[in-house]
Amino acid sequence: METTAEDRSAADKPDLRARRRAQTLDEIHRAAVSLSEQRGFDNVTVDEIAARAGVSPRTFFRYFPTKESAVLHDRWGFNQAIESVIATADAATLRPADIEAATEHVLGEVVDNPVAASGNAEEMARTFRVITLTPHLQAAMLTEWNARTQAAIESVEPGARLRLRLLLDINRVSVSAAVSEWIDARTAGADDADLPAIYRRLCTQVRTLYAQ
């Protein structure tokens, strides 16, 4: 049966809504990070973030429950990548390399596509700097991570849960260390610092440590 223009228009609407939602999420996130850089996260209000993003406070709360969540917004897709691996693999046999490959792909997308919709490397560096300088945000990020980890392990067989938790926690620490190392290198003038390579090197070091 031939597809009509009306059918195509109807099919495009969900994608258009999703793109608009993603755009608004990103704009609010950028505003939250920018203001936090300028004045410190604790000195920024939701109303100010909303005004900078060009939305009302009511709209802000339609997208984010708190100003913490606006800064912590995973616009690069780390969580989605890991959750996809867990959903399609056997948790009992899931390898560190499987999680590392998914993570490295996201890191590569951030660095190799500086003008991509997912955001560029500088914006990710700015976000992590704000988090690093704000203990309250660090605590919020850990709380969010623990909630996601708990949801992930509850979706698998009980016998595989401890192993999966360990894999996810090790990867979280590896990503955090890699991004911190990358930011330090960029701050020192190495604008060509290779984030995926730093992450790979740290993952290798982790395996070496556990082999001792």
Asked if residue 1 has pLDDT above 60, the reply is: no
Q: Which of 108, 137, 141, 144 is nearest to 42 (CA)?
A: 137
For the chain, the average pLDDT equals: 89
Q: At what angle do helices 5-39 and 46-53 cross, to 10 degrees?
A: 130
pTM value is 0.84
pLDDT digits (tens, 9 = 90+) for 38-80: 999 999 999 999 999 999 999 999 999 999 999 999 999 999 9
Q: Are the C-beta atoms of 95 and 104 separated by less than 8 Å? A: no
pLDDT digits (tens, 9 = 90+) for 143-191: 999 999 999 999 899 999 999 999 999 999 999 999 999 999 988 988 7
Q: Are the C-beta atoms of 99 and 168 separated by less than 8 Å? A: yes
